[in-house]
Structure 1
Amino acid sequence: MTAHAPHPELTKNQALVFGSLSNAGGPLTAYAILDLLRENGFRAPLQVYRALDKLVEYGMVHRLESLNAFVACSHKGCSGHGTAAFAICEKCGDVNEFTPDEAIGLLKSWTESRGFQLSRTTIELRGTCKNCATTN
C-alpha cells in the first residue's frame, strides 16, 4: 500500500500511529500498534484509540470491521470520498483497497431515495486472492 504524506495537523501520537500503520504493509490491531509504540511512550490502549479515531476522521486510516484492525489509506484524498472498499484474503491476510464506483453509485441512490443521511461506507470482501488461489 502506498502511504500519503501525514496530515499537517497531526499530533505526535497521531503521527506515530499513522507511521506504524504505513510501515506495516497490512492491517494492525490497536494492541499490535501499542506494542510497536511502547518505546515511544505509549502505555495504554486509550492513547492508540484516540489517535486512530482522529486518523479515521481525517480519512488517513480505515477500520476493517471484520478483522477488528486498521490500515493506512492507499488513496490520496480519501477523506473526500467517504467510501472505502477492501478485498481481504482469508489465506494470506493480504488487504487491497479499491473504489467500486458502480456499487458506490447504487448505494448512494438507495440512501438518497430513502432519505438516509450517509456519513461513511466501508465495504469488505472476504475470500481468496489470485496468488493463493493459483497455489492450491
Structure 2
Amino acid sequence: MTDHRPLTRNQALVLETLTACEEPLSAYAILDRLRGEGFRAPLQVYRALDKLLQTGLVHRLDSLKAFVACAHPHEHGGEATVAFAICENCARVWEFSDSTIEDRFEAWAKAENFLTRATTIEISGLCAACREAGAPGEPGQPGERGA
C-alpha cells in the first residue's frame, strides 16, 4: 500500500460496490451493478480493480475468479500472508492473517532460497451457519464428501 493518491471516481465506485456486498463479485458482476453509474465496458472495471489490488484495498480470490474488499486494509502490507476462508454454500468470505503460518512460509522460502512475492491462502468449506442448517457436504448429509 505504497500509493496514497486519492481514488478516481471509478475506483471509488468499484470499492464501494465490493464493500457493500457480502459475497465476492466477478468483474462482470461489478460491471452489471455499476451500469447505472456510467460503466459500459469491462475494461473500466478491470482498470479500477488493478489499481485497487495494487493499493491493497481489494483482494482477488483465484479459486472463484472474483474480488472482495480488504477487511483490514491497514493491517497488512503487500507482502504479508493473507488467508481467506470461503463457504462453499453461502459464499461468505472471512479474511485473516496468522503470524505462525506466515513464519512457516518464510522459513520454507528461506530454506529453498525462494523469493516470495505474495502469498494468498484460500480455504474452502462450510461455515457454521450453513453446517447448522444442514448444507450439502456435511458428513451424514446429502452430497457428503468422500462417500
The TM-score with structure 2 as length reference comes to: 0.82
SS of residue matched to 1:74: coil
* 1:120 maps to 2:122: no
The alpha carbon displacement at 1:82 in A equals: 3.0
Deviation string 1:41-97 (CA, Å, 9 cap, x unpaired) is: 111111101111110110100000111000000013155153211110111111111
SS of residue matched to 2:113: coil
Instruction: Say which of 62, 67, 78 aligns to 2:64.
Output: 67
* 1:89 maps to 2:87: yes
Within 5 Å, give how 1:1-136 maps onto structure 2.
Answer: 8-78=5-75, 80=77, 82-136=80-134
SS of residue matched to 1:97: strand
Deviation string 1:92-122 (CA, Å, 9 cap, x unpaired) is: 1111111122111111111122222212111
User: Match for 1:87: what amino acid?
Assistant: A
Cα RMSD of the aligned pairs, angstroms, is 1.5
For 2:106 and 2:38, locate their aligned partners in 1 and report how far apart those are by CA, in whole Å: 43
Mapped contact 1:61–1:73 kept (Cα < 8 A): yes
Aligned residues: 130
Mapped contact 1:61–1:72 kept (Cα < 8 A): yes
More helix by share: 1
Report which of the two structures shows the higher radius of gyration computed on alpha carbons: 2
For 2:73 and 2:29, locate their aligned partners in 1 and report how far apart those are by CA, in whole Å: 25
For 2:99 and 2:126, locate their aligned partners in 1 and report how far apart those are by CA, in whole Å: 22
> Deviating runs (4+, > 4 A) in structure 1?
none
5+ residue gaps, structure 2? 135-147
Of structures 1 and 2, the one scoring higher in RCO (CA 8 A, sep 6+) is: 1
User: Match for 2:14: what amino acid?
Assistant: V
The TM-score with structure 1 as length reference comes to: 0.88
The aligned counterpart of 1:3 is none
